[in-house]
Chain A
C-alpha cells in the first residue's frame, strides 16, 4: 500500500488480501473484554466530511478510537467551510494541527487526490467517498463480507445492480473485485451506466432476472436522486419493477447467494423490505465489518515508520511486508 488510499485500483492483490486478513484479526477485537488496541496511540486521525454521512463517518471514528488514535471529526456544517473556506486553507489548518491521517469525503470527484498530491499536507489521505468517483473502503468491506460467506473470491460471480452511473461504490467494487479475481456483472438501465463502462473490468446487462440465477452475491445500489439532474428512468415504480430486488427475484438466487447493500437503502425502491430483512441479507453485517476493515486500513497506513520495508537486516520478505 502506498502512503494514501485514494482508489481501489491503488491496491494490488497482495495488498488487498493483507488488508482483508488484517481486518479479520481486527474483527475479533470486538469480541474481547477490552475492544481496544494501543497500536495508534499518539496518532491523530481527522475525519474531514464535506458531505453528509452516517455510517462511514461513525465507522471511521470507531475504527480510529479502537486503535487508540485521537480522532477529530470535522464536518462542513458548523465549521468555517460553510463560510467559504477553501479546501487548501482547511488542509493547511489540519497540517498545522499535526494530523497523521485525513479521512476525507467530498462531493467533488478527485478532492482526496488533490489533497494527497498537492503538497498541502504530509499526512496520509484516505478517500471516504469522492463524488461519483470512488469509495475504496466500502469496496474493501464488501469484499471482506463476501469472503466471510463465500470464501476465496477467485471466479465468484458478483452482480452489482442499479444506479451505477452515480455510484462510487460500484466503481471501487468493480476494480477491487477484478483484482481479487471475481467476475463482476453490472446490471442497470442503459441510462444509468457510465460512459466508458466498456473499459471497466466487468460485463454489463440490462436484464436482472437473467443475471440473478448465476450470481454468488448481488449488491443493490441506491438510486441517488440527489445527484440526478435529468430523467434517467420514466418513474420510480417502473425502475423498481425492472431493477428492484423483491422476494420473487430473490427466489431466483442460488441457495448460498447473499444480498448486499452499501446503505442507505430506500426500502420499496431498489430493495423490498422483506428482502432487506431476510436471512440472505448481510446488510447489517456489512456495517460491522466496515469498522474492522477501516481499522485494518488505518493500522496499515499509520502504525509503521512509513518507510519502505526492510529487506536485508531481517529475514522478513519484502513482498509480504510491502505496506505503507
Chain B
C-alpha cells in the first residue's frame, strides 16, 4: 500500500511521534488495559480498519508477553454503520473478523489510530451491538486530536495531540506504510480544510 498523495503534495509536515514513541505508547496502553481489567481474562481486542487492526495485533502481542496468555484479536469494519454513508460515493467494505469466542459478556477494547470527531466510534458501537452484547466496551487510540462532535471519549490514549481543524494527522504503520510515525500535516495552499463532520480516520487512511 503506497500513499497516493504524499504529504509533500499538501504542505509542511511534522513528525510528532516516531517509531520508538509509538512503541512506548502501545506498551503503556497494553499495561493500562491489563490494569483496568485486572488481567487478561475476558478481553477481546477489536481493531477498526485499516490502521486500528495492526495496532490491535500489536497490543495483543504485548499483552501476551506480559501475561503469558493470548487474547483474542479481531477487526470490526464500521463502513455500513457510518452516518455519512449516503453523503459520499459508495465504498467497499473492510474485513470484519470476530474471534470465535464472540463478544457476549466480554470486555471489548476497540482500537483505532486517531480519535477525532468520534463518529467512527459511534458507528463501531452500533456495529458491535449487532454482533452481541459485551459486558463492557472501552476505547484505545494511538492519537486523540480533539474536535469531538459526539459525547465520546477514549479510555486509553497514546498521545493527546492538540490540532487545528485545518491540519491533518497521518498515522504511518510498518504494516501498511513501511515505517512507524505520526505526522501532522498543514494543509497546502489552496486546499480547503476538511469540513465539519469529515472523519479524521478517513483522512489518515490513505488507500486500501
List the interface of chain A (C-beta within 8 A of B): 18, 21-22, 25-26, 28, 32-34, 36-39, 299-310, 312-317, 320-321, 323-324
**A-B Cβ contacts below 8 A, count:** 93
- B197 beta carbon closer than 8 Å to chain A: no
Nearest first, the 7 closest Cβ-Cβ pairs linking A and B are: A304-B90, A39-B80, A324-B90, A25-B93, A309-B89, A34-B130, A304-B89
* B90-A303 in contact (CB<8A): yes
- Please tell me if the beta carbons of A303 and B194 are within 8 angstroms of each other in the complex: no
**How close is A77's CB to chain B, nearest CB, in angstroms?**
34
Does B3 count as interface, using CB distance less than 8 angstroms? Answer: yes
Q: Which residues of A contact B131 (CB under 8 A)?
A: 32-34
Q: A310-B89, A323-B91 are in contact. List 13 more A-B contacts (CB 8 A).
A: A25-B77, A32-B130, A33-B132, A37-B130, A299-B93, A305-B89, A307-B88, A307-B89, A308-B89, A315-B4, A316-B205, A323-B92, A324-B89
Is B176 an interface residue, CB under 8 A from the partner?
no
> Within 8 Å of chain A (Cβ to Cβ): is B16?
no
- B95 CB to closest chain A CB (Å) equals 7
Residues of B within 8 A of A320 (CB): 92, 207-208
Q: Quick one: given A33-B131, A313-B192, A313-B198, are A38 and B89 in contact (CB under 8 Å)?
A: no
Q: In the complex, which of the residues B86, B98, B192 contacts A304, with contact meaning CB atoms closer than 8 Å?
A: B86
Interface status of B5 (Cβ within 8 A of chain A): yes
Cβ–Cβ contact A299 & B80, under 8 A: yes
B174 at the interface (CB under 8 A from A): no
The 14 sampled A-B contact pairs (Cβ below 8 Å) are: A25-B77, A25-B94, A25-B95, A32-B130, A37-B130, A299-B90, A300-B90, A303-B90, A303-B91, A304-B86, A313-B192, A314-B203, A316-B202, A324-B90
Contacts of B93 in A (CB 8 A): 21-22, 25-26, 299
Could you say which residues of chain B place their CB within 8 Å of the CB of A18?
A: 92
- Residues on B with C-beta less than 8 A from A37 are 80-81, 130
Of A25, A33, A36, A303, which contacts B86 at CB under 8 A? A303
Nearest-Cβ distance from residue A202 to partner chain B, whole angstroms: 29
Q: Which of chain B's residues have a CB closer than 8 A to the CB of A306? A: 89
B68-100 vs A, CB cutoff 8 Å, 1 = contact: the mask equals 000000000100110001111111111110100
Contact between chains at B85 and A316 (CB < 8 Å): no
A35 to B208, CA, bound (A): 26
- B132 / chain A contacts, CB cutoff of 8 Å: 33
Would you call the interface of chain A mostly helix, strand, loop, or mixed? loop
Task: Tally chain B residues at the interface, Cβ within 8 Å.
Answer: 34
Asked if B191 lies at the interface with its beta carbon under 8 angstroms from chain A, I say yes
Chain B: CB-nearest residue to A33? B132
Q: For B130, what are the chain A residues with a Cβ–Cβ distance below 8 Å? A: 32-34, 36-37
Q: How far is the CB of B198 from chain A (nearest CB, A)?
A: 7
B63 within 8 A of A: no
In the complex, are the beta carbons of A323 and B90 less than 8 A apart?
A: yes
Residue of A nearest to B104 (CB): A33
Q: Say whether B115 faces chain A, with CB atoms less than 8 Å apart.
A: no
In chain A, what residue has the closest Cβ to B129?
A34
- Report the nearest B residue to A37, measured CB to CB: B80
Output the nearest chain B residue to A324 by Cβ-Cβ distance: B90
User: What separation, in Å, do the CA atoms of A310 and B90 have in the docked complex?
Assistant: 11
Partner of B85, one of A22, A36, A303, A314: A303
A304 to B84, CA, bound (A): 9
Q: Are A314 and B80 in contact (CB under 8 A)?
A: no
Q: Contacts A36-B130, A314-B203 known; A21 to B92 CB distance under 8 Å?
A: yes
Q: Which residue of A lies closest to B79 (CB)?
A: A39
Interface centre among B87, B91, B96, B130 (most CB of A within 10 A): B91
CB neighbours of B59 from chain A (8 A): none
B206 within 8 A of A: yes
